[in-house]
Chain A
Amino acid sequence: MDAYLLKKDFPVLDDKTLVYLDTAASSLKPKQVIKKLDEYYEKYSVNVHRGVYSLSYVATQLYEESRRKVSEFINADFDEIIFTRGASSALNLVATSYGLNNLTSEDEIIVSELEHHSQVLPWQNVSNITKAKLIYVPLNKEGRITVENFKKVLNKKTKVVALNYVSNVMGYVSPIKEIIRLSHEVGAVVSVDAAQAAPHMRIDVKDLDCDFLAFSGHKMLGPTGIGVMFGKKELLKDMPPIEFGGDMNDNVNLYDASWKDSPYKFETGTPPIAGAIGLGAAIDYLNNLGFENISTHEKKLKDYAVEKLLKIEDIIVYNKTSETGIITFNIAGVHPHDAVTFFDGDNICMRAGHHCAQLIIKWLEVVATLRVSFYLYNTIEDCDKFIESVKNARDFFKSVGF
């Protein structure tokens, strides 16, 4: 895999001075994906599942072909793939449809402080409504979810376990497979937030044996506005739709109606058709490269950058040991928002704030952090520019009196 060559696929990187280090928020999009979107809007551009004319047939074929690609991508069955607006709506769908209809005040839901808001808040809502208890896995001293700590909170009352596969702040990979196995022993279902996993590693839902899994298209080279919810067939069968309208229904009467089977009962209204087709193209792109190559490359850049960062005085790195391409850090005494404006001046895009994960920021006992995240289009030169800019930023803020 040659990152220098790959850069040419990403039109945003035509600006050679740009260093893009915010893939964990959203990845850049290659022209192969953009072309597919244009193709949809220029050549067929019509609705799916409705028109009895050939253009609509073509659109439907391509839309459903993407569903097939997604199912193969994570080793699921075709009808276990529901298209959503993104990982957030997928995780909300699990909580609202499964959670609200299956939990009572006798039950417990396990989450963690390492979750993105889109994983923890839907379950907080379920807990408030059903009075099921929300239980937090205690994190270890590095801020990781461990099997040992998970066992401390798992019990017969646990009905749902909602955790991340890869943390969007710390970049840790959770021991999710073992967590799933243990959860099933007590009869709990497991919903996995894989938004930071899907772009970087091979996911096999059959091997994991997870009950639900969610990810977004835009973090893995795909378009915005498209995401995926995987659910095991036997669970989806009994889950009610949470949105009602066109396309999801079967027979409609005055006072009742019946629904189509999954996945269609969860996809009302005109879906993000171009988005789904674009996601299919993103999957092709990733498959072509191979996840082994992608994750090795990211890890190499991350290790290189961490080693250099640790040599700079006044830099605090919060996740030295993470297995993926995310670095969370601060310049001592400098608010991340002040720092990020400096980096912006060097045309380096990175994140400052709490990364939609306030609980882990509170756990770290800081007001906010800086975060960089590497992907397949980043190079050692990007790392060097970043490190140089960190040094200059530190010097600058010192010089003005921070």
Chain B
Amino acid sequence: MRDLEVLYRQVIMEHYKNPRNKGLLNDSTYKTIHIKNPTCGDDITIQSKIEDGIVKDVRHDGTGCSICCSSASVMSETLIGKTKTDAKNITETYLNMLTNKEFDESVELEEAVVYRGVNKFPARIKCASIAWKAFEGTLEESE
């Protein structure tokens, strides 16, 4: 249970209880992607606003477990203000880290790095990746 405790005690609970940038906007300058994990019921919508190559805003809403919901919040804080290229790079690095693939350790993941602990719980990798996958989708839409 040590691993689980470490995981929850870090950023996850803080963001789960006090999510940042939560709530969607009815604004056509945002790209919106909705992803569901039908087996567990996680249901997340991510919005991003890209302007002049900069991630101006990231919004999220939905229901899910603590890992899923907190990771959306952490992601929004990590990515807002980054260039689109950096955001893309961070997202890719994060997803590779989660799935135990090779990843570029020099990329600064900021708070999102705590989700590295999720790879000890393979059944939960999906929970930690769904928000980021949705963000990736919004980037593709904005291209």
Contacts and interface: CB of A to CB of B under 8 A. Distances in A.
Given A345-B4, A368-B40, A401 B65 contact: no
B13 A400 contact: yes
B63 to A, nearest CB: 5
A367 B67 contact: no
A400 B65 contact: no
A308 interface: no
A402 B17 CA distance: 8
Nearest to B14: A401
Contact of B66 (A335, A344, A345, A396): A335
B121 A368 contact: no
B117 to A, nearest CB: 12
Interface in A355-372: 361, 367-368
B9 A400 contact: yes
Among B38, B39, B42, B64, the most chain A Cβ lie within 10 Å of the Cβ of B39
Contact of B5 (A337, A338, A368, A400): A400
Contact of A367 (B38, B39, B63, B127): B63
B123 A341 contact: yes
Contacts of B68: 337
Interface in B23-78: 38-42, 63-68
Contact of A337 (B9, B17, B65): B65
Contacts, number: 52
B17 A401 contact: yes
Q: Give the contact-size bracket for chain A.
A: 10 to 19
A219 B59 CA distance: 43
A354 B8 contact: no
Nearest to A369: B41
Given A335-B64, A335-B65, A400-B9, A341 B41 contact: no
Interface in A286-342: 335-338, 340-342
B120 to A, nearest CB: 10
A271 interface: no
B47 to A, nearest CB: 21
Contacts of A338: 65-67
Contacts of B67: 337-338
A341 B64 contact: no
A353 interface: yes
A7 B40 CA distance: 30
B128 to A, nearest CB: 11
Contact of B124 (A337, A353, A396, A400): A337
Contacts of A341: 4, 121, 123-124
A352 interface: yes
Contacts of A401: 13, 17
Given A337-B127, A353-B41, A401-B13, A345 B64 contact: no
Contacts of B8: 400
A345 B64 CA distance: 20
B42 to A, nearest CB: 7
Nearest to A340: B123
Interface in A243-293: none
A318 to B, nearest CB: 15
Interface in B87-112: none
Contact of B41 (A344, A345, A361): A361
Given A337-B42, A401-B13, A342 B4 contact: yes
A337 B13 contact: no
B18 to A, nearest CB: 11
B41 A354 contact: yes
A344 B3 CA distance: 12
Contacts of B13: 400-402
Contacts of B64: 335, 337, 367
Interface in A84-104: none
Contacts of B4: 341-342, 345, 396
Interface of A: 335-338, 340-342, 344-345, 352-354, 361, 367-368, 396, 400-402
9 contacts: A337-B42, A337-B67, A337-B124, A338-B66, A341-B124, A342-B1, A353-B41, A368-B41, A396-B1
7 closest Cβ pairs, A-B complex: A337-B65, A335-B65, A368-B41, A400-B8, A353-B40, A401-B13, A338-B65
